[in-house]
Amino acid sequence: MKTVTAFSKPIEAHMLIARLGGSGVTAFIRDEHIVTLDWFASNAVGGVKVDVADEDYEQALNVINAPGERETT
């Protein structure tokens, strides 16, 4: 598994998961619950992360970096 990006808000991670899923990339959210329980913990844990399988990493980056879309951080 590789992390493709991280967000400070869980909803942003869920929106990306939906976009990736629509492109055929299975993705997982990590650290969502700790950030939801304690908003200030987001910086401490590095935000809410979106992970994909190693073999889907390049395709996920292409989806994220498509024209008009958010760039990875």
pLDDT tens, position by position, 27-67: 999 999 999 998 888 888 999 999 999 999 999 999 999 87
pTM of the predicted protein model: 0.83
pLDDT band for 26, please (50, 70, 90 cuts): very high
Provide the Cα torsion 52, 55, 56, 61; round to 10°: 100
Residue type at 61 in one-letter notation: L
Are 15 and 7 in contact, with CB atoms under 8 Å apart?
no
Sign of the Cα pseudo-torsion (38, 40, 45, 50, in order): positive
Residue 69 confidence (pLDDT): 52
What confidence tier does 15 reach under pLDDT thresholds 50, 70, 90? very high
Asked if 25 and 56 touch (Cβ cutoff 8 Å), the reply is yes
Domains defined for the chain, CATH in brackets:
2-64 (3.30.70)
